[in-house]
Amino acid sequence: MATTSSDAPALAPLTGQVAIVTGAGGGGCGTAIAVALAGAGARVAVNGMEHHRARLEELTRSCPGGALHPSIADVADGEQVERMVDEVARRLGTPTIVVHNAGPSLPPRRITQLPASHWRAETAVILDGAYHLARATAAGMTEKGHGRFVFISSNTAFRGGRGRSASYAAAKAGLHGLAAQLALELGPAGITCNVVAPSQIDTPRARRGGRRDDDSMRRSAAQVPLGRVGSADDIAGVVTFLAGPSAAYLTGQVIRVDGGSALAPPATALAQESA
């Protein structure tokens, strides 16, 4: 019996797409995003610094089908980003999905103790990195007539954050303005640009150096309407949606993936009706 079109297996939604995911070597959101995009059919360049090489190579070996490919570059350096994009294009094809998740691991400093070197380091990776990536990939996406930018921000961009520096908050907020401008400029070419703003995500980075532990995570969960802190997979799922065809008419948006923690805190209760 001849096979009809309805009998043919459905293609994964990102089949034929090439993605770059920055900050993918830490085992947190970047790693989960890369794996999720590969699972949806994309070929993914997983980016990190030289000291992430071993972890990136291990990640690529653990992902079936050879869908992940290590890509070493410092996103704060525009020339390194251009070389990375050129290499990805040669090996995998023109990048049509860019997810910028990278951020340096720096201890928080109050503004009076915040040196210029710290400010520059955070803004260079987070905000300048997004600029370098957009500048290096937008022409290829335009030629393809299709593209997706997703920048990973933070609820800190809206309200500040204890345990964060002003440079982090400012750089993350800057992603929102950059995304809006890119959405405006690149929309006619079929390119979207959106921001994902997580809060209270349990990752290895959050727990590094004893910064967070099980008790502090439970206290955070008590402040979240959904009753738990988020996982890297929660972020990866939203990013994969934004990278796919179902989000084709969604651009210039900031999506807060926070379990509702931006809403009124649990201590704010409705007044009891008088008897």
Domain-embedded: residue 159: yes
Give the domain CATH number at 117.
3.40.50.720
For the cut 70, the answer to whether the pLDDT of residue 7 exceeds it is: no
* Counted domains in the chain: 1
Residue 54: which residues within 8 A CB-CB, separation 6 or more? none
Q: 78-92, 112-126, 168-182, 220-234: lowest mean pLDDT where?
A: 220-234
- 57 CA to centre of own chain: 20
Catalytic residue among 31, 168, 176, 192: 168
- pLDDT tens per residue, range 229-249: 888 899 999 999 999 999 999
Tell me if 37 is assigned to some domain: yes
E strand or H helix at 151, and its extent? strand 147-152
pLDDT of amino acid 233? 92
**N-terminal to C-terminal alpha carbon distance within the chain:** 74
User: Minimal CA–CA distance to 203: which of 180, 173, 235?
Assistant: 235
pLDDT above 90 covers what percent of the chain? Answer: 70
Domain containing 70 equals 14-257
64 Ramachandran zone, left/alpha/beta (phi>0; psi -120 to 50): beta
What integer is the mean pLDDT of 27-36?
93
pLDDT in tens, 132-187: 999 999 999 999 999 999 999 999 999 998 889 999 999 999 999 999 999 999 99
Residue 264 lies in a domain: no
Indicate whether 6 belongs to any domain.
no
Find the mean pLDDT for residues 44-65.
91
Burial class (CB in 10 A: 0-12, 13-18, 19+), 89: middle
Examine residue 3 and state whether it is found in any structural domain, yes or no: no
Closest CA to 266 of 221, 231, 234: 221
- 168 classed as catalytic: yes
| Residue 101 pLDDT greater than 90, yes or no | yes
> What pLDDT is recorded for position 3?
47
Residues contacting 28, CB < 8 A, separation 6+: 201, 203, 204, 205, 206, 232
Distance CA 143, CA 224 (A): 43
- Running DSSP on this structure, what letter comes out for residue 173? H
Beta bridge mates, 1: none
pLDDT band at 64 (very low <50, low <70, confident <90, very high): confident
In a domain, 239, yes or no: yes
Average pLDDT, the chain: 89
- The DSSP letter of residue 26 is S
Q: Is pLDDT above 90 for 6?
A: no
Q: Does residue 8 lie in a domain region?
A: no
